[in-house]
Chains A and B, each alone.
Chain A
Amino acid sequence: MKTNDVILQTTTKVIFFIIILFSIHIFFAGHYAPGGGFVGGLLTSSGIVLLLLAFDLKTVSTMLPINYTVMVAIGLLIALGTAAGSIFFNVPFFTHAFEYFTLPLLGKQSLHTAALFDAGVYLVVVGVTMTIIQSIGEDE
């Protein structure tokens, strides 16, 4: 008995964009408002899980040819590198630096190294979540 998933698939194609946009917003809002790397990563992986539910593992892995275990490693390296960068400036481990820059288009923005650490957290969360779900899903 095959079912016709036309409604689920069409709505997924629309809603995926909204989820990903919202996850990026949450990721960048983490410094002054609720949000951050962990929640943003979970939201991104929930968008990919929605794709997995509407389509199948093969289709999604051709759409996003990402090795999620490598993604976890890269995320950990970024987080560690951000923490270790403070050694070169003779300040304690994990000391963050921030500075105000005037960027084109965006105006005056505060660039903080904690955002890079958060990017590492984000990659680890997406990688771990997707690794768990794919490993369970591929089990025959």
Chain B
Amino acid sequence: MAFQLLLNFFIAVVWMFISVSFTASTFIVGFILGLIMLWIMQRFIPGRFYMSRVWAVIKLVVLFFKELFMANIQVLLLIIQPKMPIKPAIFALPTSLEKEWQITLLSSLITLTPGTLVLDVSEDSKTLYIHAINYEDSDDAINSIRDTFEKAILEVSRS
């Protein structure tokens, strides 16, 4: 990933030197040319073509905004009811993510979507403790997080 990005920057700089114009537009043209070349040569370069990873990041951002919108509507529907039928609970979410930044990202995404809140990470970083505002079933909650955020983060970090 980082190597491909460096190579792409290098190609863009070489393109600027070849065309003897040091402007941003020339750099962008060289960068796009480098992208096409890297896409052709991807079987010789270790790792996955890095634009697919950028695409995965974009998908994760879109998913996050969709979840944010839906969860806000759900919380709104909860709090405008006179009885406030909330069932607060704390449950443990076993996570398969290993790297520090993945756990941080997952915790931030869970915390930023209303209704759920990460309280703590266990000592071995294998379990997240989550507080939910309206808790019906732990399997449902765990599976919904698994299917959305964890899958998207794994998709980003797939080498």
A-to-B contact residues, CB < 8 Å: 2-4, 6-7, 9-11
Nearest CB of chain B from residue A104's CB, rounded to whole Å = 13
B125–A6 touching, CB < 8 Å: yes
A4–B104 touching, CB < 8 Å: no
Q: Which residues of A contact B100 (CB under 8 A)?
A: 6, 9-10
Residues from 94 to 128 in B contacting A, C-beta threshold 8 Å: 100-101, 103-104, 107-108, 118, 120-123, 125
B120–A3 touching, CB < 8 Å: yes
B101–A4 touching, CB < 8 Å: no
A2–B123 touching, CB < 8 Å: yes
Nearest CB of chain A from residue B122's CB, rounded to whole Å = 6
Task: Tally B residues with Cβ within 8 Å of A.
Answer: 12
A10–B104 touching, CB < 8 Å: yes
Which A residue sits closest to B102, measured CB to CB?
A10
Can you report 15 residue pairs joining A to B where beta carbons are below 8 Å apart? A2-B123, A3-B120, A4-B120, A4-B122, A4-B123, A4-B125, A6-B103, A6-B121, A6-B125, A7-B104, A7-B121, A10-B100, A10-B101, A10-B103, A11-B104
B-to-A contact residues, CB < 8 Å: 100-101, 103-104, 107-108, 118, 120-123, 125
Expressed in whole angstroms, the Cα–Cα distance for A10 and B101 within the complex equals 6
Expressed in whole angstroms, the Cα–Cα distance for A41 and B72 within the complex equals 41
> Which of A2, A7, A9, A10: most chain B CB closer than 10 A?
A7
Q: Which residues of A contact B120 (CB under 8 A)?
A: 3-4
Nearest CB of chain A from residue B132's CB, rounded to whole Å = 18
Nearest CB of chain A from residue B110's CB, rounded to whole Å = 11
11 more contacts with CB within 8 A, not counting A7-B103, A7-B104, are A4-B120, A4-B122, A4-B123, A6-B104, A6-B121, A6-B125, A7-B121, A9-B100, A10-B100, A10-B104, A11-B104
Which B residue sits closest to A1, measured CB to CB?
B123
A7–B123 touching, CB < 8 Å: no
Q: Which residues of A contact B101 (CB under 8 A)?
A: 10
Expressed in whole angstroms, the Cα–Cα distance for A116 and B6 within the complex equals 37
Expressed in whole angstroms, the Cα–Cα distance for A7 and B104 within the complex equals 5
Expressed in whole angstroms, the Cα–Cα distance for A3 and B104 within the complex equals 15
Q: Which residues of A contact B107 (CB under 8 A)?
A: 7
> Which of B104, B118, B121, B123: most chain A CB closer than 10 A?
B104
Expressed in whole angstroms, the Cα–Cα distance for A40 and B108 within the complex equals 30
Q: Which residues of B contact A9 (CB under 8 A)?
A: 100
Nearest CB of chain A from residue B9's CB, rounded to whole Å = 19
